[in-house]
Amino acid sequence: MTEESVQQSKSRSRVDRLRLLLSKAGADFLLVFHLPNIQYLSGFSGSAGLLLVEPSRVTLFTDSRYTFQAIEEVADSGVTVTIAKGGLLRAAGESLKKRRRRIRVAYASPHVTVAQKRALDAAAGNSVRWVDALGLVERLRAIKDGSELALMASAAGLISEVFHFVLPRIAPGITELSLAAEIEYAMKQRGASGPSFESIVASGPRSAWAHARPSSKAIGKNELVVLDQGAILHGYCSDMTRTVFVGRAPDKVRRMYEAVLEAQEAAKSAIRPGASAAAVDRAARQVLKRHSLARFFTHSTGHGLGIEVHEMPRLGRGDRTVLEEGMVVTVEPGVYIEGVGGIRIEDDVVVTAAGAVNLTKAAREFLEL
């Protein structure tokens, strides 16, 4: 097959699988609002779009700013482009109104504002019966195909390189913000279009805040430093955390580190097709419990990763998702103790028949700088 035919058959098969889910949800049509879902189904990466999936065709509505980009990006996917003059919602609504019979159209209520829904209703009139259907495209996106896995391996490889490049710069006196700037500069110099999220550099007492943003605080001697960073490369995200110590670490800190690493390894070992997301989380938690650290592990063990930095599944208590081959998840246990500091170790892994395979490659051993 030519490259074009591969691309076309890929998008077609995504849409075909989507139509199966759609019919199970009791709808014939799907109106897609969420841009990452539109990108996945059509290839379009602009900032204004609506995608209408019908039983026998797919239409992208966008505006005149994106005429050329849209035609180029969806060329191989079999999607038709409509440049909307009076707003995307009106164009999509009017297209739905033209049908002979009343149709059932699915949408996802968390991705549609009250104002958008109102404009859509005004344009579509009574011709539509709306069906609120959550996560249809997200369920497909959770399982990556071969070309997606290749792109994700590149994004993960890139961020691993960036960490090793930045490592020698972590020293007393440099501020968290400055180190975060070095990280984001280094990823862009290696071809990333940008960070997948605002890079976290949290040192000393601030390392104990799981959601710290980098500040103007300078890194001090004898401090833990948590570095959580990810890059977007060719549209796919990476997300990796490492924790280092500046100086010679007290035994207590070293033991904490070894416990977190052991918890991460236990979680990775629990990953296989057929295992539940909650079981992976439990594996990490049990190790920390044995070290009397479980109560300092205040978040879930990981999350899906792909076009977005947080996707399905969530590796946490209560998530019943059964892992499947081709899923990509982060594995990131952490402990945060006020007065001591925080330690988190995070890798991106693929679920394979042989278990978890690491995509991120940076050194995991305890580093004293």
Query: What string marks each residue from 291 to 320 as x (binds a copy of itself by CB under 8 A) or -?
Result: ------------------------------
| Nearest to 254, CA basis, from 224, 229, 228, 227 | 224
Answer yes or no whether residue 114 interacts with a copy of itself by CB under 8 A.
yes
Pick the binder of a copy of itself from 12, 24, 57, 65 (CB under 8 A): 65
- The correct pick among 70, 128, 180, 349 for binding a copy of itself (CB under 8 A) is 180
Length of the chain: 369
User: How many beta carbons lie within 10 A of that of residue 125, not counting itself?
Assistant: 11
- 218: nearest Cα among 201, 198, 199: 201
Asked if residue 178 binds a copy of itself (CB under 8 A), the reply is yes
Stretch of 5-13, 191-199, 237-245, 272-280 contacting a copy of itself, by CB under 8 A: 191-199
Residue 187 φ/ψ region, left for φ over 0, alpha for ψ in the -120 to 50 degree band, beta for the rest: alpha
The CA-atom distances, in angstroms, between 69 and each of 8, 47, 91, 148, 286 are 17, 11, 19, 22, 50
Least separation, in Å, of the C-beta of 249 and a copy of itself? 26
DSSP symbols for 121-163: HHHHGGGEEEEE--SHHHHHHTB--HHHHHHHHHHHHHHHHHH
**Is residue 25 close enough to count as binding a copy of itself by CB under 8 A?**
no
Residue from 132, 145, 324, 368 in contact with a copy of itself (CB under 8 A): 132
Report the sign of the C-alpha dihedral through residues 238, 141, 93, 68, in that order.
positive
User: How near is the Cβ of 210 to a copy of itself at its closest, in Å?
Assistant: 7
Q: Note whether 177 binds a copy of itself by CB under 8 A.
A: yes
* By the rule CB under 8 A, 216 interacts with a copy of itself: yes
- Residue 185 as a binder of a copy of itself (CB under 8 A): the answer is yes
Give the residue from 152, 240, 231 showing the smallest Cα distance to 193.
Answer: 231
Could you say which of 191, 247, 250, 274 contacts a copy of itself (CB under 8 A)?
191
Backbone torsions φ then ψ of 309, nearest 5 degrees: -80, -20
Q: Which residues contact a copy of itself by CB under 8 A?
A: 65, 109-118, 132, 177-178, 180-182, 184-185, 188-189, 191, 193-194, 198, 210-211, 213, 216
